């Protein structure tokens, strides 16, 4: 009887630590320190309450008394011009260890989304701390010389589990199979900013077009890149983007290049003729953006610029009638929408919706009436391609007389309704100073009310300048700048292909 009692006490002593860890962590939040001198700076108590309200309550139990807490959350909020940094310190009272997390943003409109991003980071850190295995105590020793129970093997000791929603790290990141690194990467000397795919050739190769600031190159993409032809624009002009299509459905690829020449939209259209590119139309007054999974059925949308520099509130479909280009079927854009940053989507029950990347990089979904019905908590997109327009700029107090207009990353709709959205990130991306050096690809599905993430790739070094999806081979073809242009270097760009299942 005595032996059984000792064994029972030993098992209970082992199980209690594991059961305790499954309970929510008792957290005490301290009022954040803020820069009181900064105009419009939020109060420390407001920042604390804003953040605490977004924590996972299945993992955290907030207590008022610091003595009852097992973890203390403190932090600070600092602003530098329009940029702000939100820094949080998590102190484990039992071990004395301190964990630091932070989030950055731009402007007061980004404070609430930043609170959501920061709360998810805190949830992840708390999950790591709470699931750490507790040390197994030694078995009690009896002075009476009683027979000791058989030792409990480590496999039978239950590991502490949070019986709630899985922590963020439990979500699976499905990275595409990249295969042989040397086999799916092709290098091009120089920095290129846009790309487009053309027809699939009988040889198994595919037409590929890439554009730099003043040059367009025509390649055949296979196991290697074969340069077929090259075209340039005048020194006074600059290429913003290129897109491919076959609007007259004759089986020959057309290339639509958005060009700015001396503050004027002066776009061009080329046509593949054997081993060359033929200019078939120039000085067109439209920005171009293509949408569609294959060149044979792609649609080219256009957007005009008014005499005062304002972008038209609508986009129109481009059609080719004989030798003439015309526009038709206008689509009203959401607020801050442009031909470069929007896509049309539908839900499982139908309905027409527009999704766009706003000026700050948030995904915004609007209904047929133009009313915003959903907005992302995280930023996406990110482009270094821009043009300056002094001619149309209104007088401003800023010393910068130019109006910087940044193009956005493509929003690509796959045949199954999945929406692909890239995200560039970097060490310096403030205002007009953009220097991206890593990127990832995200896939979403619109359910009629919320845009749900389906998968995303791991972050990859390099700036994603552009990309295209090859529906026939289910491959993502990316144009990545791996070395920026410098005083003694032209830079380097790579073309990579990765299969997307």
Q: Give me the pLDDT at residue 56, please.
A: 85
* 201 in the same domain as 105: no
- Which has more confidence, 103 or 134? 103
Give CA angle at 443 (437, 445), nearest 5°: 150
Of all residues in the chain, what percent carry a pLDDT higher than 90? 45
Statement: residue 45 has pLDDT above 70: yes
- Cβ neighbours, 10 Å, residue 104: 16
Examine the domain organization and report whether 226 and 323 are in the same domain.
yes
Is 333 among the domain residues?
yes
- How does pLDDT run across 347-403, given as a tens digit for each residue? 888 888 999 999 888 999 999 888 999 999 999 999 999 876 554 444 444 445 566
Helix axes 44-52, 111-130, angle to 10 degrees: 60
Model confidence pLDDT, tens digit, residues 417-441: 999 999 999 865 555 678 898 999 9
In degrees, rounded to 5, the angle at the alpha carbon of residue 416 between the alpha carbons of residues 474 and 360 is 90
pLDDT surpassing 90 at residue 168: no
Q: Specify the pLDDT at position 22.
A: 53
Q: How many domains does the chain have?
A: 2
What stretch of H or E contains 52? helix 44-52
Q: What is the CATH number of the domain that holds 377?
A: 2.120.10
Residue finishing a domain among 131, 165, 196: 131
Q: pTM of this prediction?
A: 0.66
Residue 15, domain member (yes or no): no
What are the residues whose beta carbons fall under 8 Å from the beta carbon of 304, sequence distance 6 or more? 265, 285, 286, 287, 311, 312
117 and 198: one domain? no
Q: Does residue 74 contact residue 91 with C-beta atoms inside 8 Å?
A: yes
With a pLDDT cut of 70, the percent of the chain lying above it is: 79
- Asked if residue 160 is part of any domain, the answer here is no
Would you state the pLDDT for residue 61?
84
> Please, what is the average pLDDT of the chain?
82
User: Is there a contact between 219 and 228 (Cβ–Cβ < 8 Å)?
Assistant: yes
pLDDT number for residue 44: 81
Position 271 in a domain: yes
Domain membership of residue 205 as a residue range: 185-499
The pLDDT, as a whole number, for residue 427 is 64
In this structure, the answer to whether residues 91 and 236 fall within a common structural domain is no
- Assigned domain for 18 exists: no
The per-residue pLDDT for 173 is: 55
* 248 lies in the same domain as 323: yes
Q: What is the DSSP letter of 168?
A: G
Asked whether residue 149 is domain-assigned, the answer is no
110 pLDDT tier (thresholds 50, 70, 90): confident
Confidence check: pLDDT of 171 > 60 = no
End of a domain among 131, 152, 176? Answer: 131
């Amino acid at each position: 009887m005595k032996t059984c009692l000792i064994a029972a006490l030993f098992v209970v002593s082992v199980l209690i630590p594991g059961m305790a860890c499954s309970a929510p962590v008792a957290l005490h939040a301290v009022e954040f320190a803020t820069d009181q001198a900064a105009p419009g700076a939020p109060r420390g108590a407001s920042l604390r309450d804003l953040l605490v309200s977004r924590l996972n309550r299945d993992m955290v139990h907030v207590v008022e008394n610091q003595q009852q807490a097992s973890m203390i959350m403190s932090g600070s909020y600092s602003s530098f011009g329009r940029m702000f940094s939100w820094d949080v310190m998590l102190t484990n009272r039992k071990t004395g260890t301190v964990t630091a997390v932070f989030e950055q943003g731009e402007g007061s409109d980004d404070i609430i989304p930043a609170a959501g991003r920061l709360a998810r980071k805190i949830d992840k850190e708390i999950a790591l701390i709470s699931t750490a295995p507790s040390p197994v105590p030694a078995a009690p020793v009896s002075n009476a010389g009683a027979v000791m129970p058989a030792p409990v093997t480590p496999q039978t000791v239950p590991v502490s589990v949070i019986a709630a929603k899985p922590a963020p790290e439990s979500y699976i990141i499905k990275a595409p199979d990249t295969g042989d690194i040397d086999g799916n990467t092709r290098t091009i000397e120089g920095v290129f900013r846009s790309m487009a795919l053309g027809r699939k050739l009988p040889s198994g190769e595919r037409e590929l077009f890439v554009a730099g600031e003043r040059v367009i190159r025509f390649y055949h993409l296979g196991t290697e890149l074969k340069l077929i032809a090259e075209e340039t624009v005048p020194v006074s002009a600059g290429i913003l983007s290129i897109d491919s299509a076959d609007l007259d459905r004759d089986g020959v690829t057309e290339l639509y290049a958005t060009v700015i020449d001396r503050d004027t939209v002066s776009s061009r259209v080329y046509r593949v003729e054997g081993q060359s590119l033929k200019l078939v139309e120039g000085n067109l007054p439209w920005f171009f953006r293509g949408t569609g999974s294959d060149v044979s059925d792609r649609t080219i949308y256009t957007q005009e610029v008014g005499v005062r520099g304002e972008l038209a509130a609508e986009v129109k479909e481009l059609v080719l009638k004989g030798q003439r280009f015309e526009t038709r079927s206008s689509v009203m854009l959401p607020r801050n929408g442009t031909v470069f940053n929007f896509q049309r989507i539908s839900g499982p029950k139908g309905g027409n919706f527009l999704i766009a990347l706003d000026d700050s990089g948030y995904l915004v979904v609007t209904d047929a009436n133009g009313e915003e019905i959903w907005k992302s908590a995280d930023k996406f997109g990110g482009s270094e391609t821009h043009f300056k327009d002094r001619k149309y700029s209104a007088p401003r107090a800023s010393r910068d007389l130019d109006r910087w207009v940044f193009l956005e990353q493509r929003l690509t709709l796959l045949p199954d309704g999945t929406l692909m959205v890239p995200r560039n990130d970097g060490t310096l991306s403030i205002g007009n100073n953009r220097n991206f050096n890593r990127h990832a690809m995200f896939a979403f599905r619109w359910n009629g009310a919320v845009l749900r993430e389906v998968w995303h790739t791991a972050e990859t070094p390099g700036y994603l300048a552009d990309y295209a999806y090859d529906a026939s081979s289910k491959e993502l073809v990316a144009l990545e700048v791996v070395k920026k242009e410098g005083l003694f270097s032209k830079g380097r760009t790579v073309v990579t292909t990765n299969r997307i299942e």
